[in-house]
Amino acid sequence: VQLQASGGGSVQAGGSLRLRCTASRRIGSDYGLGWFRQVPGKEREFVGAIRWSMGRTYYADAVKGRFTISRDNAKNTVYLQMNSLKPEDSARYYCAADPVWTVTYYYEPNQYVYWGQGTLVTVSS
């Protein structure tokens, strides 16, 4: 499956952005979709994930209460709504798909098989 991420941009601190990740085909019920972010020189960081079939979501502590993941089954699309953005949220954001969801390792980048190209988010102070 191919993933296409979009929606990044530049915003001031306190602002909002909504990222979108669209899959090239139907997402199977066993899938998990994750969002990660990365800044140059640092490791890829888990942001959040959603179990496709149940819609249950998981978040990193750094974004809990500010970011929300949702999905649209009919459009094979997952969204990342980012509110109250901070300069430290600046990064390239990636969506990824895990064909065999496991609640144990949803935060591990290595668990995900398919990756989008990333979309850049810049938050200025």
3-state secondary structure the chain: CCEEEECCEEEECCCCEEEEEEECCCCCCCCEEEEEEECCCCCCEEEEEEECCCCCEEECCCCCCCEEEEEEHHHCEEEEEECCCCHHHCEEEEEEEECCCCCCCCCCHHHCCEECCCEEEEEEC
Residue 101 has what pLDDT? Answer: 85
pLDDT tens-digit readout, 7-55: 999 999 999 999 999 999 999 989 999 999 999 999 999 999 999 988 9
Rounded to 10 degrees, what is the CA torsion of 59, 62, 64, 67?
-90
pLDDT tens-digit readout, 59-114: 999 999 999 999 999 999 999 999 999 999 999 999 999 999 888 889 999 999 99
Longest distance between any two alpha carbons in the chain, whole Å: 40
